[in-house]
Structure 1
């Protein structure tokens, strides 16, 4: 259980903080825009506000609780970047190191000029991709769901980065080695699989698997006992289902927390 102090004891106002829960209830939970919510405020290392409401499993009518386990999706990006920065602190790489220093198969990456998979017309990159580019999403990589070019169409065709049996980070790295970039590194910003590549670099540089490195360097020291890439059987009952809004703006189930495929 969390130890919760009064907001006033850490210099905050109870009345103002109460508005957080009221806002979530009025604007999101009660209108059915989201099934449930958890809001927590901490100051100076002390939790001073906790609001829990709604459901974590609509189909089963299970209430949201403070110890519910939820997917964090792309919030794993800052955690991955933090993990890599711990290796920077140890002097094991530089932000401006070329990525192909650690991924030799990426030497000579090219940029799409025209064409489509598998017959791309390409030109050389104006400069090599750096680790800084990956961190800043200026690498030239993309995501399959962008639907903006023939490069992301190739990602979709190859199911690059998608959940597949026995699919590994190494498989994704090998696929990317065979595909052109959207643009030369550093030219512009584009949301992408770059952080997945950072995860691969963590494995190469540290010599550990990404889950093991994150656990030993971040999660275990911080007491984050429920944060991991996989959920153990004894915790599944606390795992929240995932919902999304369809084109009709209805909240629909996208992943059953008690019968998840991933």
Structure 2
């Protein structure tokens, strides 16, 4: 990449100004050393691949049972996955849906709204993707774009942001009242971990599509995103539609505990409680308690 397209950035982090070049093939030592522990992550080693694959296999067998149960009963499941860029939303959704029938288990990842959609009720383009009977739908980002990305990047007005936060609790209460099994996950990562994942994407030809110009533009807006995240949690976390926060520096632990959480909250036929295992409360919890 030429100098005219350089993505080298000065970042103020942990009381120091650091130079971060996402395109330099060598990851800076200060990122590598701090990534896993960033954001108060409680573990100093990732879960082993062998243990992860064994536990994931057991959980995915349970998810297949969930799908049969939904088809038999007409039940509906909807899960929102939110978090900063590179938090692991897409990978968690992929692990969840991997062995479910795609005819009735699907991911929704919407692009920016069209000119027509901008004239509609804000929630309208999301509602058309809600689950029908027997379906399991996972949103890779959702209407909560208006709680974080849009106000931080200037894509909505302060008035639109305030109106959104006021409307969300009633909107989500309607979802719950209609007997949809509704989950909201916030995948939380530390700042150095985000930088590491950006670097991985920029230097892997199979992942470069994941790194957008907006990701680079947001590198120095960490605190702005944090403020909007905390406001979102305060105003949209409720007993009926709670936020489940997941410490996601270790993708393996995050995925396992997200799936466990879903399985434990569904009363499906043939449920194998032993196979599901125990929630790691250092990784996942309700509300903002696990946020850095």
* Same fold (TM > 0.5): no
Tell which has more relative contact order, 1 or 2 (C-alpha 8 A, sep 6+).
2
After TM superposition, the score normalised by the length of structure 1 is 0.28
Larger radius of gyration: 1
After TM superposition, the score normalised by the length of structure 2 is 0.26
Looking at secondary structure, tell me which structure has more helix per residue.
2
